Amino acid sequence: MHDLFATHDALAVGELVKARKIGVRELVDGAIARLRELNTPLNAITDFYDGALLDKSIAAAGEGPFHGVPFVVKQLMADCAGTPTTLGSRFFAEQPVPTADSAAVARMRRAGLVIVGRSNTSEFGLAPTTEPAFGGATMNPWRKGLSPGGSSGGSAAVVAARGLPMAHATDGGGSIRIPASLCGLFGLKPSRGRVSLAPIGETLAGAGAQLCVSISVRDSAALLDALAGGELGDPYRAPPAGGTFLDATRRPPGKLRVAFMRKPVGGAPLDPVLVGAVERTAMMLADLGHHVEEASPDYDAAATGAAFGTVMSANTHTNIQIRASGRVPGPDDLEPVTRLYAERGRAISAHDYIRAVQTFHRTGRALGAFFEKFDVLLSPTIARTSLPLGTVRMDGLLEDYEEGLAPMVAFTAVCNATGVPAMSLPLEWTADGLPVGLHFTSRFGAEEMLFSLAAQLEQVRPWRERRPLSAVKEA
């Protein structure tokens, strides 16, 4: 049990349970014990289930493909009956505990997952790191002093340390793919409307999405099969897939038209390590028979970034007002950057907000035209090779925060603004052994193609055997 998830992905563990080679209670109890050990150095899990709550979680698990597999749900964008959803904020720690699961969590349970805890996140998911004042910083198991990224850093740290085979993650500007890149994992952000956010209607003008970070491609695909589909009244729905996403991982992607970028649209040159990673990946794709050429979409990156800031600020202010139910945050209830974003959001006019959403749509049309010519766009996931703790601060000036944010979302945020799917794969490594994520973006609704390509790359350049040892030794 101690090292089960180093050798088995979630689907494989589910098969062990179905074959009665391991019992659900034995599996869950062993996983929680191991997670508690790992959490001492990592600080990745904010709440552990035990007692009656754990018993209910086990009883609620269906007999789907992940039957009995332990799972943690991020403290953002998803409610679990019986535990608070804090959004990584002290202000919401005392909120009434949800009495019902959100739609996606209910589907997780039906797929067989046993929720055993909640994972750490930055406050409101605003930072691409996981260092909230409430709960403290999560550590990257690959190296002391480094962040696992964010805002799904708690989930990514646990999976990277092989405490679980996969964990829930959400993505409003890169928060699945950024920690996947920094922690050596697979992470795919689905198309807008692929996974329902019910009971809320949307988040960030449709930019928010949820799925997981995982060791294997097939686990993410199978979980998307379980979560995909709309709920009554959803404002967006992605086009139906032609088959299952898991089946897509079992067939070759065919010859794809791949564009690659050596720098962000409208951005500065990259670290040579990242340029080299992109070039080697492009060569590998060409060797696999894909058509590869250098090209990038034509959109106004500065305008899209500004629009994102407008939407994020307005949503921060509004969400505080809605969730607070009349309570007013005290001086220590919110981190300084969160408070500044909320204050900025309060001053945003309806005209400015609508113009920002229109910018999202205009950028989406530009990407749509680009993907008429190409199937996939390749780049690094982030414009950094690592993220030392304290690089992106939530306790200072807004300008300093935005300066730290920019290289983290240079390739990812446009996918959220436009609603297209994108994924990060750990295909490269720095000279000193840190993972480097490669980012693949495609047209709206094209997750099947991305999963087929990811499975091909996973087979050609596997990563599962690469694992951090620091957290394991400390635990």
Q: Is 144 in the active site?
A: no
> Which two structure tokens, joined as six digits, stand for 174?
């890169």
Q: Is 155 in the active site?
A: no
Sheet holding 70-74, edge to edge: 45-48, 114-119, 70-74
- Residues comprising the chain, all counted: 475
Q: What is the CA radius of gyration of the chain?
A: 20
Residue found by looking up tokens 């990584």 in the block: 88
Catalytic residue among 151, 196, 216, 452: 151
Catalytic residue among 57, 74, 181, 452: 74
Rounded CA gap, 160 and 393, in Å? 24
Backbone φ and ψ for 69, nearest 5 degrees, come out as: -75, 125
Q: Hey, which bits of 324-417 come out as E strands?
A: 376-380
Cβ-based burial of 380 (10 A; exposed 0-12, middle 13-18, buried ≥19): buried
Catalytic residue among 57, 89, 152, 175: 175
> Which two structure tokens, joined as six digits, stand for 158?
């646990």
Q: Is 74 in the active site?
A: yes
> Which two structure tokens, joined as six digits, stand for 358?
């229109």
> Which two structure tokens, joined as six digits, stand for 364?
């989406």
Rounded CA gap, 113 and 64, in Å? 8
Rounded CA gap, 306 and 364, in Å? 15
Q: Give the residue numbers marked as catalytic.
A: 74, 151, 175
